[in-house]
Amino acid sequence: MFETHFEVFLADTGLARKIHYQLRYDVYCEERGFEDATAFSEREEVDLFDERAVHFVVRDIHTKHWVAAMRLVLPGGDFPIASLCKLDKEFLPDHVDGELAEISRLCIKREAFCLDDPKASAEEGVLEQSLRKRQVATEIIFRFIYAAYDYSNQNGIGYWYFLATPALARMVSMAKIPFTPAGAACNHNGVRFPYFADIEHSHCFASSKSKQIQRIIDSGKAPYALFSSCFGNELSAKLSA
């Protein structure tokens, strides 16, 4: 069931990016408390890197609610990761022969884990809840990585930076993209490690290790759709549709 529960859109309109920033505010300011909510009077969590990033959002197909966000910071300047940790010399931008981007601000609302029937979810045991949350997180994260992979291939980006926990990096590596530790750990809302991904030399996508991931690929559905093609700039597509 999970391989058809969410869909990814490239936020290519002002409204779509507003939804993206609102999702970040909901997760980072209200749900997690990672950021100071009073710093964002419009209830949109933004920073200077957004000016040279492409933004993605995920929608729950059944509820029509927007539940997750991620951005890809494009080449053309410093990257967020550089201000948070020290990269090993061979992974510094000056030593990489190719276009670099950074996967950043990947977040999922708690609502995303309450599939179909909140009452039934509340009655689940601890193990069932844990399994369901892992399945939901795997699908959403994988769909984001699939979208970023497709966008990167179409736009000449060969490498990514990605700041993540080892568990998240292992999940992403199921897509058969080589992720390599690129420096020492840092403390950024918990312990995180910098990773370097070689998109340019990744000759295949998806892994037989995950039946869930393989079903997503086998479905033939495009990695993402343009928000503008599906919704235009209509206010009816707002965060709480």
pLDDT in tens, 23-53: 999 999 999 999 999 999 999 999 999 999 9
Q: In this predicted structure, what is the pLDDT of residue 45?
A: 97
Contact between 28 and 45 under an 8 Å Cβ cutoff? The reply is yes
Q: Residue 131, Cβ neighbours under 10 Å: how many?
A: 12
Residues 6+ apart with CB under 8 A from 160: 72, 100, 101, 102, 103, 148, 152, 196, 197, 199
Contact between 105 and 69 under an 8 Å Cβ cutoff? The reply is yes
- Share of residues in the chain with pLDDT > 90 (%): 57
Select the more confidently predicted residue: 218 or 106: 106
Class of CATH domain 2-237 = alpha beta
Closest to 113 in 3D by CA, of 55, 43, 45, 65: 65
| Side chain identity, residue 189 | N
- Share of residues in the chain with pLDDT > 70 (%): 83
Assess whether pLDDT exceeds 70 at residue 86. yes
- Res. 119 pLDDT band, cuts 50 70 90: low
Outline where 95-188 has alpha helix (H).
118-123, 126-154, 166-173
pLDDT digits 0-9 by tens, 170-202? 777 777 777 889 999 999 988 999 999 988 877
- DSSP, collapsed to helix, strand or coil, labels residue 100 as strand
Structure tokens at 75: 């080449």
By CB atoms closer than 10 A (0-12, 13-18, 19+), residue 21 is buried
Cα–Cα dist 182/96, whole Å: 12
Structure tokens at 219: 């479905």
Structure tokens at 230: 């599906």
